[in-house]
Amino acid sequence: MTIALLLAIATFIIIIQAAIPYLLKPTIVFGVTIPNGYTKNEKLLFYKKMYASIVFIIGILTITAFMIWAMNAKPLEEKMMISGVAIQFAILILSMALYFVFHAKTSKLKTENQWGANLKQVRLVDIAARTADEMLPFTIFLLPMVITIGLIIYTTIHYPSLPELIPTHWGIDGQPDAFTEKTPFSAIALLLILLIMQGMMVGINELTKRSGIKIQANRKKKSRAQQLAFRKYSSWLLFATALLLTILFAFLQLMTIHENIGGTAIVLALPIAFIIIIFGMTAVYAFKVGQGGARLDVQITEEEVEGITNFDDDQYWKLGVIYVNKDDPSIFIEKRFGVGWTVNFGNPISYLIFFGPLLLILGISLYL
């Protein structure tokens, strides 16, 4: 079971990483803004193909070697887990290294050919688009937090009957494999971590809602519809993730309070089902929606406007992946390489949003 799960996770990472160049807007290639008339340049298409091929082939060869080693050497589960996770990180490092190589090549190609030099750069702002925004309201995201607070109260009531050792870590089979002594704090530590994560998701949804809606200069109607759909599906994905995390953490907490709750099959199946559903939702979101809704067919026909191009904001993207613009009030902004959102490191609040929850969770873990 362990090796199957590790292989499934690694395969998912390989497929997503290899497909990234094709999930983005055609006007963003390896983090570089490309004017519409040059998006089908042969060298750019070759760069995308090379990146995808290298990530996919090396990734598949690596997990094949891992599977052969695991089946023949039959290592201890801990050693196999460490090796499996190391492979997943290795695939991510490989894809990022290739990204930087092709980012440099794409930037050089754009500069040498002076793409867009004869086009007028236009930055469109559609204030009316916000009235059509269908992102979920923050009140919906408060519902999982209410459940968590209720569980904290329930745990406090049952504190005297809790075991003397409180689980702090669970294995891939859903069974606890690390413990700490029972204290009022350790009894609710898992729920506090969940509450921080839920609070972070409320913040992400609200701050994303306030971020700028990017509309393409020469395809206003179509890009507007894609942007609104992208924001709506992003919000739904975030809420579904919050809900699934709440179900998983709540079950683990109830297992601590009521030792015999659920059978062995449920304990084993729940974490695996959680991973499968999260990966399934992410894959559908990435391949059906794409970055900025680029893969959505919105059934809108309009003629492209000639002689203009989108505002080139490459100067604010360090290495094409880190956005730093102190004049942009948006805290969250669409990623340049990947599907989803990243933070504007030019805004001090972004550091609080990015590092605050991590430090709180780390503090709770160290205190246990």
pLDDT tens for residues 12-44?
999 999 999 999 988 999 999 999 889 999 999
Tell me what the mean pLDDT of segment 252-269 comes to: 82
Cite the beta strand spans of the chain per DSSP E.
28-29, 32-33, 120-122, 165-170, 176-181, 308-310, 317-318, 322-323, 332-334, 341-343
Which residues, in sequence order, are bridge partners of residue 215?
124
Around Cβ 87, how many Cβ atoms within 10 Å? Answer: 21
Q: For residues 115 and 122, give the distance between their C-alpha atoms in angstroms, rounded to a whole number.
A: 15
Model-level pTM? Answer: 0.88
Q: Which amino acid is at 87?
A: I
Among residues 140, 134, 127, the alpha carbon closest in space to that of 242 is found at: 140
Q: Which amino acid is at 171?
A: G
pLDDT at residue number 31: 93
pLDDT at residue number 144: 96
pLDDT at residue number 264: 74
Per DSSP, the three-state class of 29 is strand
Asked if 244 contacts 311 with a C-beta cutoff of 8 angstroms, the reply is no
* Position with higher pLDDT, 307 vs 248: 248
Give residue-wise pLDDT tens across range 129-149: 778 889 999 999 999 999 999
Q: For residues 259 and 238, give the distance between their C-alpha atoms in angstroms, rounded to a whole number.
A: 31
The percent of residues above 70 in pLDDT, for the chain, comes to 99
Tell me what the mean pLDDT of segment 114-125 comes to: 82
In whole angstroms, what separates CA 23 from the centre of its chain? Answer: 14
* Position with higher pLDDT, 298 vs 361: 361
